Amino acid sequence: MSSATLQQRPPRSGRRGPVEPPPRHRLAPPGDPTPTFWLLLAVVVVLNLFGLVMVLSASSVVALGETGSTWSYFGRQSLWSGIGAAALVLFLYVDRRLWRKTAVLGLVSCLALLVAVLVPGIGVTVNGASRWLETGPFQIQPSELAKLVALLFVADLLARRAGEMASPRRTFWPVVGVLVLVGAPILAQPNLGTVIVLAVIVLTMLFVAGARVDLIALVTAAAAGIASYLVLTTPFRRARFFAFLNPWADPSNTGYQNLQALVALGDGGLLGVGLGASRAKWEYLPEAQTDFIFAVIGEELGLVGGVLLVVLFAALCGLGVGAARASGDRYSMLVAVGITTWLTVQTFLNLGMVTGLLPVTGVPLPFISFGGSSLLVTMAAAGLLLNIARHPRSRPVPAGRR
């Protein structure tokens, strides 16, 4: 058969035509944030502003008695909010690779601060707990920073060893070792609530990274056993636990705070008594501006206001999950999972505590409760989550932008 015959032969039936090249991909450009980014930013801003308003309302009576001005707590929270906004911008715009490079240094520095808190004369003790370091007019709480630092270190380790997840010696046990290393000095402060949040963050990141489920279950059971032992053998924790089970057994002492929170929520009804009109904050409810601020929110804004706040936190959780799913790399995905778990679990523990569904743990409500260290670190974490949401994984670029 001649070559001419071959050239003149018609194409076979069903033969495909020329294949179009796949569309070019790239990361979302810095100047083109995603809808998830804008929604997440809106939720964070609204929560922060709402928190400032409620701190002003919940703290006004206590502030007047302590300083002679109803604005003192609000002024301090506003200052921390401004510093937190700067931290948010910093974590939003700085390349995430920098946080990976400084993960080890950050962990070592945080451990040094956690140990310093326990040194007499250096750490500040309030109500029997040594959790703060004082520098001039500011007090910082290293245990809040530990959540973010440990999260970044664990995400980096699990990202670098992605191909070794089948080896617990290389991935699972080193991460559990970091959890123990960070959690031990926090537990000594004592601060069991923060250790619980930290443990849930780390174990969730291990699960998402593909660690063995049986090992996660083993560590979870061991941690639950240790927590139960600490609760039952420590007088103040045991008192809190039994007050949770039956606050009416000692309504003027161990059950007082639980009952006052429920009274405040009940007084709020459907629409609340009005912003600023809370009666619980007139020193009936201890820690009204910090851990139990949701009780004041429920009293002043009612069931409607409380539900709207819960919806905002649910939206924050959903958007965080969306940012994790669309993230551009394994490290970013794990960081987004860790931050979303952190904010969600801490919110759940606080709301459960205030509504009487969980024992008192002393965990603040993110963005809302009074507390400089908590607000600063939470805003930094939100900035990092926004950074991840702003740069999702590769996607086709519209024809007009190629």
Q: Is the pLDDT of residue 402 over 90?
A: no
The model's confidence at residue 4, banded by pLDDT at 50, 70 and 90, is very low
Mean pLDDT of 40-54: 97
Q: Cα(290)–Cα(308) distance, rounded to whole angstroms?
A: 20
Summarised one tens digit per residue, pLDDT across range 336-346 is 999 999 999 99
Provide DSSP, 176-187: HHHHHHHHHHHH
Summarised one tens digit per residue, pLDDT across range 258-299 is 999 999 999 999 999 999 999 999 989 998 999 999 999 999
Q: Is the pLDDT of residue 191 over 50?
A: yes
Q: What is the pLDDT of residue 13?
A: 41
Q: Which of 150-159, 199-208, 232-241 has the lowest mean pLDDT?
A: 232-241
What DSSP character marks residue 392? Answer: B
Contacts of residue 186, Cβ cutoff 8 Å, sequence gap at least 6: 114, 143, 146, 194, 195, 198
Summarised one tens digit per residue, pLDDT across range 335-376 is 999 999 999 999 999 999 999 999 988 899 999 999 889 999
Mapped onto helix, strand or coil, the DSSP state of residue 132 is strand
Closest CA to 70 of 89, 80, 57: 57
Buried/exposed code over 261-275 (b: 16+ C-beta within 10 A; e: otherwise): bbbbbebbeeebbee
Q: Are strands 129-135 and 123-126 parallel, antiparallel or unpaired?
A: antiparallel
CA angle 180, 340, 333 (to 5 degrees): 85
Closest CA to 51 of 318, 366, 317, 324: 366
The model's confidence at residue 98, banded by pLDDT at 50, 70 and 90, is confident
Q: What is the pLDDT of residue 24?
A: 41
Domain boundaries, the chain: 32-390
Summarised one tens digit per residue, pLDDT across range 304-337 is 999 999 999 999 999 999 999 998 889 999 999 9
> Which residues does residue 396 pair with via DSSP β-bridges, in sequence order?
25
Report the half-sphere exposure of 54 (CA within 13 A, side-chain side): 30
The model's confidence at residue 394, banded by pLDDT at 50, 70 and 90, is low
Q: Is the pLDDT of residue 8 over 90?
A: no
**Pair 8, 1: CB distance under 8 Å:** no
**Pair 398, 324: CB distance under 8 Å:** no
**Pair 138, 372: CB distance under 8 Å:** yes
Token reading at 392: 């999702």
Q: Is the pLDDT of residue 135 over 90?
A: no
Q: What is the pLDDT of residue 398?
A: 42
Q: Is the pLDDT of residue 401 over 60?
A: no
| CB-count burial class (<10 Å; 0-12, 13-18, 19+) for 209 | buried
